[in-house]
Amino acid sequence: MSTNAPSSPAPKSGLPFALGAYSLWGVLPLYLVLLNAVNPFALVGWRTLWTIPVCAIAIAARGQIAEVKAALSNPRVFGVLVISSALISINWVVYIVAVQRGAFYAASLGYYINPLVNVLLGTIFLKERLSRLQWIAVGVAAIGVAILAFEAVDTLYISLTLALSFAAYGLLRKRVPVGSLPGLTIEVLVLAIPAVIAIALAPAASSGLNADFGLNALLFGAGLWTAIPLLLFATAARRMEYSTLGFVQFMAPTIVFILGLTVLGEPLDPVRLVCFLFIWAAIAIFCVDLLMRARARRRPAPIA
């Protein structure tokens, strides 16, 4: 009879969830441009309201109603989720405004800056340590972002707001002891009344209240496109180091950047090309470091 104790299950990776979330966010501008006729505040309101039934169905299907009630009855958890809901709503409004203005470049810059903020927050608040190669990657990415920022002073407020709001949101969701789906459900419930007010106060022609079937279907789809990547992101944030999650996020702005240059008509000038190369070099350095550490973990320990 074997006396070996059963091995504990390996921790589940958050990487597939992160890749799914950032892929959906990367192509989101293609969807939002179809809703340019809707007031940005009203559009955020509809995104919020249509996310509620999506979350409710998922909560019931997964039997997590008790988790929602427990989080609502915990003042600390509920307070953190109120703050996170405010942060994500700010992020949504600014992003939609950027897309409706055609500022795809500013939006992509915001999410290129965001991983650097994630690294900073991870080292300060979560005591995560970066390797030498990772710090080099941070420095190379910072050079690229600085080049972009210097060329985009007039829209830098969009980029900084997107970066700071989403970094703070991710940090709160990583630290609050509540599951991905229950947390998102409470966030959209908190935002329900502000969402109704935003729709009601929007100009009638752009509120979406008298929309035809096609526009109503698009607004409902916006709710799905809101809930699914946020659930994937929140799951990834709880399973990955925050600094690592931040670098995976370069995927989304890269998709936006490429769409801006190809589908959405964003011109490519030499400065943007140089920045693009710096950022991809940083990602390559970071990925090399991850592969080296993964190989080191798989290497068998020396026999004493």
How do the pLDDT tens digits run along the chain, 304 residues long?
A: 444 444 444 456 788 899 999 999 999 999 999 999 899 999 999 999 999 998 999 899 889 999 999 999 999 999 999 999 999 999 999 999 998 888 888 888 888 878 778 777 888 887 778 788 888 988 898 898 788 777 767 777 888 899 999 899 988 988 888 888 899 899 999 999 999 999 999 988 888 887 788 888 998 898 889 888 888 887 887 788 766 776 687 788 889 888 888 888 777 778 778 887 887 888 788 778 877 876 776 776 555 5
Burial of 287 (0-12, 13-18, 19+ CB in 10 A): middle
The Cα 272–Cα 257 span in angstroms is: 10
DSSP element (H, E) containing 106:
helix 104-125
Tell me the whole-structure pTM to 2 decimals: 0.80
User: For residues 170-183, b (16+ Cβ closer than 10 Å) or e, as one string?
Assistant: bbbbbebebbbbbb
pLDDT tens digit string along 229-242?
A: 888 887 887 788 76
Contacts of 68 (CB under 8 A, 6+ apart): 59, 182, 185, 186
| CA pair distance 109, 282, nearest whole angstrom | 15
Distance CA 4, CA 1 (A): 9
CB 76 within 8 A of CB 177: no
d(CA 60, CA 299): 44
**Six token digits for residue 27:** 């192509």
With beta carbons less than 8 A apart as the criterion, state whether 257 and 286 touch: no
CB-based burial label for 215 (10 Å; 0-12, 13-18, 19+): middle
Output the pLDDT for position 266: 73
Query: Rg of the chain over CA atoms, in angstroms?
Result: 21
